[in-house]
Amino acid sequence: MRQSGIVEGRIADDVLFPSVAIALQGRMDVLLKETKAKCTSILAQAVQDVGTDLRFVLALQSETLQGDDGLEAASEGVVREIAERLRLLKGRAEDVRRTAAE
Protein backbone atom coordinates (compact mmCIF):
# COMPACT_ATOMS: atom_id res chain seq x y z
CA MET A 1 0.00 0.00 0.00
CA ARG A 2 2.81 2.39 0.94
CA GLN A 3 4.78 1.59 -2.24
CA SER A 4 1.65 2.00 -4.32
CA GLY A 5 1.09 5.44 -2.78
CA ILE A 6 4.70 6.45 -3.53
CA VAL A 7 4.43 5.33 -7.17
CA GLU A 8 1.08 7.07 -7.63
CA GLY A 9 2.51 10.26 -6.15
CA ARG A 10 5.50 10.19 -8.46
CA ILE A 11 3.31 9.49 -11.47
CA ALA A 12 1.14 12.47 -10.54
CA ASP A 13 4.27 14.64 -10.15
CA ASP A 14 5.78 13.34 -13.43
CA VAL A 15 8.83 12.09 -11.49
CA LEU A 16 8.52 8.32 -11.58
CA PHE A 17 12.25 7.72 -11.80
CA PRO A 18 14.03 10.83 -10.49
CA SER A 19 17.56 9.47 -10.84
CA VAL A 20 16.90 8.50 -14.46
CA ALA A 21 15.42 11.93 -15.17
CA ILE A 22 18.47 13.63 -13.63
CA ALA A 23 20.87 11.43 -15.63
CA LEU A 24 18.95 12.09 -18.85
CA GLN A 25 18.96 15.83 -18.23
CA GLY A 26 22.70 15.80 -17.61
CA ARG A 27 23.37 13.81 -20.77
CA MET A 28 21.09 16.08 -22.81
CA ASP A 29 22.99 19.13 -21.55
CA VAL A 30 26.28 17.55 -22.66
CA LEU A 31 24.86 16.58 -26.06
CA LEU A 32 23.47 20.08 -26.61
CA LYS A 33 26.83 21.68 -25.78
CA GLU A 34 28.62 19.26 -28.13
CA THR A 35 26.10 19.93 -30.90
CA LYS A 36 26.42 23.68 -30.44
CA ALA A 37 30.22 23.44 -30.65
CA LYS A 38 30.03 21.33 -33.82
CA CYS A 39 27.52 23.70 -35.43
CA THR A 40 29.64 26.71 -34.52
CA SER A 41 32.69 25.04 -36.04
CA ILE A 42 30.83 24.13 -39.24
CA LEU A 43 29.43 27.63 -39.62
CA ALA A 44 32.83 29.22 -38.94
CA GLN A 45 34.37 27.06 -41.67
CA ALA A 46 31.54 27.97 -44.04
CA VAL A 47 32.07 31.68 -43.39
CA GLN A 48 35.79 31.25 -43.97
CA ASP A 49 35.11 29.40 -47.25
CA VAL A 50 32.75 32.14 -48.42
CA GLY A 51 35.38 34.77 -47.61
CA THR A 52 37.99 32.85 -49.59
CA ASP A 53 35.63 32.50 -52.53
CA LEU A 54 34.74 36.18 -52.47
CA ARG A 55 38.40 37.21 -52.38
CA PHE A 56 38.98 34.93 -55.38
CA VAL A 57 36.08 36.47 -57.28
CA LEU A 58 37.24 39.98 -56.48
CA ALA A 59 40.72 39.13 -57.73
CA LEU A 60 39.23 37.72 -60.95
CA GLN A 61 37.02 40.77 -61.33
CA SER A 62 40.01 43.03 -60.91
CA GLU A 63 41.86 41.16 -63.66
CA THR A 64 38.74 41.27 -65.85
CA LEU A 65 38.63 45.05 -65.59
CA GLN A 66 42.07 45.06 -67.20
CA GLY A 67 40.48 43.76 -70.41
CA ASP A 68 40.66 39.95 -70.59
CA ASP A 69 37.33 38.80 -72.11
CA GLY A 70 37.98 35.09 -71.45
CA LEU A 71 38.61 35.81 -67.81
CA GLU A 72 35.35 37.76 -67.61
CA ALA A 73 33.39 34.71 -68.78
CA ALA A 74 35.26 32.54 -66.31
CA SER A 75 34.57 34.94 -63.46
CA GLU A 76 30.84 34.93 -64.27
CA GLY A 77 30.86 31.14 -63.93
CA VAL A 78 32.70 31.42 -60.64
CA VAL A 79 30.21 34.02 -59.41
CA ARG A 80 27.32 31.67 -60.28
CA GLU A 81 29.06 28.80 -58.50
CA ILE A 82 29.67 30.92 -55.41
CA ALA A 83 26.06 32.11 -55.43
CA GLU A 84 24.92 28.48 -55.48
CA ARG A 85 27.28 27.58 -52.64
CA LEU A 86 25.99 30.53 -50.63
CA ARG A 87 22.42 29.38 -51.23
CA LEU A 88 23.30 25.88 -49.98
CA LEU A 89 25.15 27.26 -46.97
CA LYS A 90 22.21 29.49 -46.13
CA GLY A 91 19.92 26.46 -46.25
CA ARG A 92 22.24 24.51 -43.96
CA ALA A 93 22.48 27.44 -41.55
CA GLU A 94 18.68 27.66 -41.44
CA ASP A 95 18.48 23.91 -40.73
CA VAL A 96 20.99 24.29 -37.90
CA ARG A 97 19.10 27.28 -36.51
CA ARG A 98 15.80 25.38 -36.60
CA THR A 99 17.33 22.32 -34.98
CA ALA A 100 18.95 24.42 -32.25
CA ALA A 101 15.62 26.16 -31.59
CA GLU A 102 13.89 22.82 -31.09
Q: Could you give the percent of the chain with pLDDT greater than 70?
A: 75
**Among the listed residues 56, 36, 96, the one whose alpha carbon sits nearest the alpha carbon of residue 48:** 56
- Residues 31-75 pLDDT 10s: 999 998 898 888 888 888 888 888 887 777 666 655 555 555 666
Q: Domain-by-domain residue ranges, the chain?
A: 2-101
| Mean local confidence (pLDDT), 82-93 | 82
Mean pLDDT of the chain, nearest integer: 78
Q: CA 51 to CA 29: how far, in whole Å?
A: 33
pLDDT score at 7: 74
Q: What pLDDT is attached to residue 31?
A: 93
The region that residue 67 occupies, defined by phi over 0 for left and psi between -120 and 50 for alpha, beta otherwise, is left
* 71 or 26: which leads in pLDDT: 26
